[in-house]
Each structure stands twice: as C-alpha cells, then as structure tokens.
Structure 1
Amino acid sequence: MFAEIITIGDELLIGQVVDTNSAWIGRELNKVGIEVIRVVSVRDRSDEIIEAIDAAMHRSSVVLVTGGLGPTKDDITKQALCDYFHTELVFSEEIFENVKRVLPGRIPMNALNKSQAMVPKDCLVINNRVGSASVSWFERNGKVLVSMPGVPQEMTTVMSEEVIPRLSDKFRTDVIVHKTFTVKNQPESVLAEKLEYWEAALPLCIKLAYLPKPGIIRLRLTGRGQSKEEIKSLIDDASVRLKAILGDDIFDEEDAPLERIIGDLLRKKGITLSTAESCTGGSIAARLTSVAGSSDYFKGAVVAYANEVKTSLLNVSPQTLAEQGAVSEKTVIEMVKGAMNTLKTDCAVATSGIAGPGGGTNEKPVGTVWIAAAYKNEIRTMKQDSNRGREMNIERAGNNALLLLLELLK
C-alpha cells in the first residue's frame, strides 16, 4: 500500500518553515504497513495544488495533504479541493461550534474565523479537537485523499486519533518490519564492499539501506510481507550473519541516538559525566541534556572557547598552550582531566579544534580536531583531520567524542 504526501505553503519552499510533518507522517504510516513513496511541496497556488493532487491520485491509494487551511486569503486548499472534486463549500454548524470552542477568548469571532466552518460538501468532515481547521476525507474510485492542517501539533493529533485508525480499517496492508544497526569505524564504500556477498544473499522481500552520518553509519533492514513472524524470522537470520561479519563495530541495534546510548549506560553503571568543549561549543552537552532524565548522570559542561577559560576553569597549563597550542593532544588531555576535577564526575569528554571555515594553518588545517575521553584513570584520544565544512566538522567531532567514551565505558 503506497501513499503520497503533499505539503502546501510558500513558507516551505523559501525555507522559512522546515517541513517536519512529512517525516512524522512517513514514520507513523510505516508502522501500519503504508509506505510513503513521494513527498511534494507546492506553493499557495490553486492550479499547482490541483496539479499535484491529480498526479498523486493517479499513482497512489492514499494522498495526504497538509497546509493551507487557515482563515486568511492565502489559505486556498479547501477551494482547490472543491474545484478538483467538483463540489462546493458549505457552512457546517458542527464545525462552527468546534471553532468557537477552540478559539481563545481574546480572539474575536470575525468573518475570517467563521469561514473556518465552511467545508467541502461531498466529503467526510472530521473535527479537529485542538484547532479550528477541520479535516476533509475524500474517497474516489477506491482511493482516499485526506486534507489536514499544517500546524504540526494539530496534524499529529488528527492523524493519530482519526486518520490512521480509519486508514487501517479501510485498507488491508502488508506488514513492514525494520531492523537498524549502527556501525562505527567503517567508511561507507568500505562497508558496502565488505557486505557485498551478504547483501546479495538477502531474500527478495528484504532490502538494505545505508544511512550515513558523520562518523557512523546506520544499516536498515526492511522486510515486507503478509506474515510478521515470517518476515521477522528472515531478518533475524540476516542479522546473525551481519553480526558475524562486523562484530564489535556494531554498537547499537535499537536505532537510538548516541546520546541516549551513552545515557542508558551511564545510568546503568551509576556514574556521572561532564564535558569540556572548545570547537564544539557546547553541542555535545546539548545533545546529552536533550535526553529526558539526563540529570541522573550529566553534571555540567565547560565551554572553554578562549585559552584563558581553559587555564582558569580547566587548569590547562599555559606552558602546554604556548608549546603545543590549543589544538593538541596534550591540551585535550588536560581539558578532560580538568572537567572531571572541576565538575567532580567519573568520566568526561573534551574537544579542541578548528571547525572552520577560517583559522587553519599548514600544520593544523581546518577540520583538525583533537578529542579526549576519560573514565576513572584511563584516557583515550583521537585526532580528527578531515574538513567536511563547519557544521559537519562539529557534528562529527561530537559523534567521535561520544564513541570514544562508549569504548571506554564498555
């Protein structure tokens, strides 16, 4: 069973708003055996909306439309749907009561807000309990089109409570099973070569996807079929063979972010963590504290961008900075020790480097980052020396720091 998503709004195409709706919809539909095969974004133009709808309705059984349902003049999705399905807008007393209920008291019930109760005549109209824009469900020739609000909270609510249950009742879908392995120490091309024969031997109902991130690669196995038990058994067999090939280079099988893996391990061991960051600017600490419950194990961070902060708060030796420089193995060793001592933690990570785009030298070009991880009396270091651009250099350094710590903790 295939679906397409159409997102509507000029703001999406000029980059003013990031489309998070499509990723959420794709993930949730996959759980009920519906695969999204295409995502299209169009401007607030009636002819472009109709063109996108027509193409999607010819290709797929389910078309999900988000956006363009507000009370202002640039919200034209409802009228475009009426034009496409040859119907008209009519006033719904039930929807109007919902509009009055959800609008805060400080917002007047003017003509624009009242227009939210104008809905397409020849469709199922579903109330939106957390917003004023209703949902329109059209069925034509065995296919379904659902128009939903673009506000993420409203969309996720109506999808979870109304749309997905109705789609599950209407369509008999295949079972889709995923299994994801996260791999370290393997460049993508090298990994693909190593897995060539294993991949070629996979059953036809199982596909492999490579999902690279800076410093790590996720391998996702996806199986599709009628029997969940059969698909899961085939994936389990393939997983056993994969683990025999890659061994300890597989460090996670739950598709969890590194910061959550580290957090679970720290909590299990009952130990605490701190960070000392220069070029990563606190981004490692931000990742660690994004995990709910991280206060159980994360005590704090020192963002030591300036050398005087390195010396005053982390006790880095001025002689080390003068002789070795801020971007050096000895500096990050002293930084990681300083973090553990200053913040009184069992372990720590430290980074110092040249993220770019400027600041590099012949001896230490842009992209050079020294990383240290410490646990009790053991310290490990590594040098990151490839330039992938500022943002990727920082993300990769964060991943490498957490991977280095993970090796120590295990």
Structure 2
Amino acid sequence: MKTSIVTIGDELLLGQILDTNSQWIAKELHQLGVELVESVSVSDSKQAIVNSLDHALSQSDLVIITGGLGPTKDDITKHTLTSYFKDELELDVVVMNRIKAIFDKRNIPFSELNKNQAMLPKKAITLPNLLGTPSGMWFEKEGKIVISLPGVPYEMKGLMLGEVLPRLRKIGGFLYQEYQTYVLYGLGESSAADMLDDFEDILPDFIKLAYLPQPGRLTLRLTGKHQEKVFLQQTIATLGEKLLSVFKDYSIVKGTEDTVALVKKMLIAKQKTLAVAESCTGGAIASYITLESGVSSFFLGGVVAYHANLKRELLGVSDKIIEKHTVVSAEVAKAMARGIQQKTGANYAIATTGNAGPSTDNTDETLGVVYVSIAAENQVFVERFDFGQPREKVIEQAKNKALEMMLKEILKNQ
C-alpha cells in the first residue's frame, strides 16, 4: 500500500513550529510495512489542500492528513474534505455529548463553535478522539483511503494508535520491512561508496543501501521489503556482517546511537572517566555531553580555559610552550589534555585550541584551524584541522571531531 502524508498549516510553512507529526507517522507506517512515497506540508487554503489531495491520490492508495480540524474559521480541512468527496455534514450526537462532557469537566461554557466540531461528514467513518474535541475522519473512494487527523501531536498519536493502525492491520497485505543502520566514523561518503562498490553489486533487488552523511560521521542503512519476515531478517543480518567486514579497519558501530551515547556506554562498561579542557569551542563539548542523561557516571567535568593565563594557571601549560609554539598549536593542545587529565584524575581527556574567528590570536595559524588532543592512559595525541569559516561551523565541527576521536580511541582499546 503506497502512502502519502500531508500536514496542513501555515505555521509549518512559516517555520514557526516543527513538523514532528509526519516523522512520527512515517516511523509507525514503516513498522507496519506500509510504503511511504511522499510527505508534504501545505497551507491552510482550500485550493492547496485540494491540489495536494489530487496529487497524493494519483500515486498513493492511502493519504494521511493532519491539521486544520479545530473550531475556528481558519480550520478548513473538514469542510474541504466534505466538498472534495461530495458529502455533507450532519450532527453526530454522540460526539457532541462527548465534547460537552469535556467542557463540563473543565467548567468551560459549551458554545456553537464547539458544537460545530460535532458536525461530521455522512460518508466518512468517524474516528473518536479520546484526547480532544476534533474527531478523526476515514474516507474511502474507489479503493483508496483518505484519513484526516488533528494536528495536535498527542491527539494525532492517540488516534493513530487507537484507531488508524488497528484498522490498517485488519486490511493487511503489507510487505514486511526491516532495516539496520551502521555508523561509520572518519570516512567520507564518496570514499565509503568506493569501498562498498563490490558489496552493492551483491545486494538482492529487495534490499537497498542508503548513505546518510552527518557532521563527523556517515550512517549506512540497509533496508529490505519481503513477504517472508524471517528470510528478510536473516538476509539483512548476513549482509550487515559483510558490510562490517568491509570497514574492519575503521571505526564502525551497529545501531543509531549518537557519538555521546556510544562514548557513554563504552566508558561506563569499562568503568573509565572523561574530562575536557576547551579553548576555542568555549564549552560546546561539555555542553553536548551533558545533554545525555546519566553522564555523571563517567564525565567528571571540564574547564573553559580561553585566555592564556588560565591555560597556565588551571591546566599547567608552561610559558615556555606557549612562547615557543603560541596558544594555537599541537603542543598547547597536548599540554591542555594532560593538564585536565592530571587535575581531575580522569582516565581520558579531550582538549581543543584554535582560531574560531572572525579574528585570530597571536599565532601563525589561519582562521578555522583547530587542534584537538586526546589524552589516554598511556599516551596523548593531537590532530590539526582546518574547518574554514564561519565561527559557528568551526565550533560545531571541532566538537564533532573531538568526540569522534574520543570514540575511535575507546574502540581501538576494546
């Protein structure tokens, strides 16, 4: 069953809110085995909704719409769909009494606007909304299905889980879908594709490989569709092992966890600790690490030693090193890593120093150059990067590269 998702709302197109509905619906449909061919957002206008329906129904068997079911005049989805399917509205007394009960419980007057939400198309199947006032609607015409749901995320999810997905399961006939992801560090998309050339040649026609580049890492996803679930799972697993073997000399992990989650998992398992000393990244690494819950079990803390005096006083970087190599140098980065490691007693340490811009320190290095150092228990090493500009890009990429280097070091010692 080919499916399109249409989210309605000017607020989506203006960027005032993020469309999380289509993402959540897509994941649920994928688990069911429904093939999603398109996801679009359109404005709160009759013509935009009609155009999107015409297009969606030209290529899909199922269209799921969210938004525009509220009680105000700008909520036109119900009226547009009623007209589109040449239907008419009638009062659903059961729905009206349910809405009245909600308002009575909250001591809110029941108005004519609220009564209008109980006016529903005769030909549609009403999907009762237990979490709000607008009902969902299920239309069928010429073997195709159009489902209209509220735009409020928790109401939409309640209707999907309680009404839509159970009804779709009864219809059945979906191909089983399976996917497995692998996160590769330290190798770009084109280089990885070159290494996977022979691997892609052996993929059966029901398996696809997708490349999903992200800052500091490349996600590879194997996706398959087949009528036999066990066979599909076995095929994905076998191909996954072959994919891992292609990158046996690189840092690659199975799953979708981000770098911080992987670092956390591995350091906790090893009962090891981490500390950071940041200059040009200004605390971005420590801030990113502490977004993950439970990090206090391995993360001891960090220091933002922006000025040279703090590098000397807090981290023990010697005047001799700074005078000889300047603050933006491999030597200072290594000294910072060792300094925070010794100060905190951490097993591992990360340090950064560089020229994030738009101006430079008293150094020979150009804008965008960053040194990232990792102190392990028996060694300290450093890498030089040129991230260019602007400043925000330099800080973001330095943060990602530092965590990537940390992960590589941990994986190397497994």
> TM-score, normalized by length of structure 1?
0.89
What is the match of residue 262 of structure 2? 261
Name the counterpart of 2:36: 36
The residue type equivalent to 2:277 in the other structure is A
Any conservation in 2 of the 1:102–1:130 contact (CA below 8 Å)? no
Q: Deviations over 1:382-402 (max 9, x none)?
A: 222133754444333222212
Shift of the 300–59 alpha-carbon distance from structure 1 to 2, 3 Å rule, reads: same
**Cα distance 1:189–1:122, how it changes in 2: closer, same or farther (>3 A)?**
same
**Gap change, CA 1:315 and 1:177, over 3 Å in 2:** same
Read off the aligned partner of 2:387 and give its amino acid letter. S
Q: Structure 1: which amino acid aligns with 2:236?
A: I
How far the C-alpha of 1:102 sits from its partner, in A, is: 5.3
Partner of 1:327: 328
* 2:169 aligned residue: 168
- Greater mean deviation of Cα atoms: 177-186 or 267-276: 267-276
Q: Which moved more, 1:213-222 or 1:347-356?
A: 347-356
What aligned pairs does 1:54-65 form with structure 2 within 5 A after superposition? Answer: 54-65=54-65
Counterpart Cα distance in 2 of 1:15 and 1:393: 26
* Aligned ranges 1:344-383 → 2 under 5 Å: 344-356=345-357, 358-359=358-359, 363-383=364-384
For residues 1-400 of structure 1, the aligned pairs below 5 Å read 1-100=1-100, 105=106, 108-307=109-308, 309-317=310-318, 320-321=321-322, 323-356=324-357, 358-359=358-359, 363-387=364-388, 389-400=390-401
Contact between 1:243 and 1:250, CA under 8 Å: does it hold in 2?
Answer: no
CA shift, 1:90, in A, is 3.0
Q: 2:149 and 2:282 mapped to 1: Cα distance?
A: 39
Structure 1 unaligned segments of length 5 or more: list them. none
**Shift, 1:107, TM fit:** 5.6
User: Do the aligned partners of residues 157 and 373 (structure 1) sit closer, same or farther apart at CA in structure 2, a change above 3 Å counting?
Assistant: farther
C-alpha contact (below 8 Å) 2:367/2:389 kept by paired residues: no
Matched AA of 1:74: D
Structure-2 change in CA distance of 1:344 and 1:58 (3 Å): same
CA deviations over 1:115-159 (Å, ceiling 9, x no partner): 333333321222333333322122222222211122223323332
Q: Radius of gyration: which is bigger?
A: 2
Distance 2:229 2:46 in 1: 42
Greater alpha carbon shift after TM alignment, 368-377 vs 31-40: 368-377
The one-letter code of the counterpart of 1:10 is D
Indicate the SS of the match to 1:352: strand
Q: 1:22 to 1:278 in 2, by over 3 A?
A: farther
Question: Which string of whole-angstrom CA distances, capped at 9 and with x for unpartnered residues, describes residues 180-237 of structure 1?
Answer: 1211222211221221122122111111111111221111111111112222222233
| Preserved contact between residue 102 and residue 129 of structure 1 (Cα < 8 Å) | no
Kindly provide the amino acid, as one letter, of the partner of residue 164 in structure 2: V
> 2: CA distance between counterparts of 1:63 and 1:203?
30
- Amino acid of the structure 2 residue aligned with 1:136: M
Work out the CA distance in 1 between the residues paired with 2:113 and 2:279. 52
**Does the 8 Å CA contact 1:8/1:43 hold for their aligned counterparts?**
yes
How far did residue 275 of structure 1 move?
2.7
CA 1:50/1:311 → structure 2, altered by over 3 Å: closer, same or farther?
A: farther
Which stretch of the first structure deviates more once superposed, 90-99 or 395-404? 90-99
In structure 2, the CA distance between the partners of 1:179 and 1:276, relative to structure 1 (3 Å rule), is: same
Sequence identity (%) = 39
**Displacement after TM superposition at 1:85 (Å):** 1.4
**Which sits farther off after the overlay, 270-279 or 82-91?**
270-279
In 2: Cα distance, 1:225 partner to 1:163 partner: 23
For 1:159 and 1:311, how far apart are their aligned partners in 2? 59
**Residue identity in the other structure for 2:78:** K
Q: Answer yes or no: is the 8 Å Cα contact 2:371–2:385 preserved in 1.
A: yes
Q: CA deviation at 1:95?
A: 3.0
Q: 1:32 to 1:194 in 2, by over 3 A?
A: same
8 Å Cα contact 1:380/1:404 also seen in 2: no
Q: Deviation of residue 305 (structure 1)?
A: 4.3
Q: Report the residue type matching 2:61 in the other structure.
A: S
Structure 2 distance, partners of 1:298, 1:9, is: 43
Contact 1:26 1:35 in 2 (8 A): no
- Secondary structure of the 1:41 match is strand
Instruction: Determine if contact 2:330/2:371 at 8 Å carries over to the other structure.
Output: yes
Of stretches 251-260 and 367-376 in structure 1, the one that deviates more from structure 2 is 367-376
- Unaligned 5+ runs, structure 2: none
- Give 1:313 shift: 4.4
Would you say the 8 A contact 1:368–1:384 is kept in 2? Answer: yes
Q: How big is each residue's C-alpha offset from its partner over 1:247-282, in whole Å with a ceiling of 9 and x where there is no partner? A: 132421112211111111111112222333333343
Q: Which moved more, 1:379-388 or 1:6-15?
A: 379-388
* Alpha-carbon distance change, 397 to 315 in structure 1, aligned in 2, over 3 angstroms: same
C-alpha distance 269-107 of structure 1, shift in aligned 2 (>3 A): farther
Structure 2 CA distance, aligned partners of 1:168 and 1:39? 21
- Aligned-partner SS, 1:372: strand
Distance change >3 Å, CA 244–CA 73, structure 1 → 2: same
Worse overlay, 203-212 or 80-89: 80-89
Secondary structure of 1:133 counterpart? coil
Name the stretch that deviates more: 331-340 or 311-320.
311-320
- How far is 1:321 from its partner? 4.7
The alpha-carbon distance between structure 1 residues 309 and 70, as it changes in their structure 2 partners (threshold 3 A), is: farther
Secondary structure of the corresponding residue to residue 117 of structure 2: helix
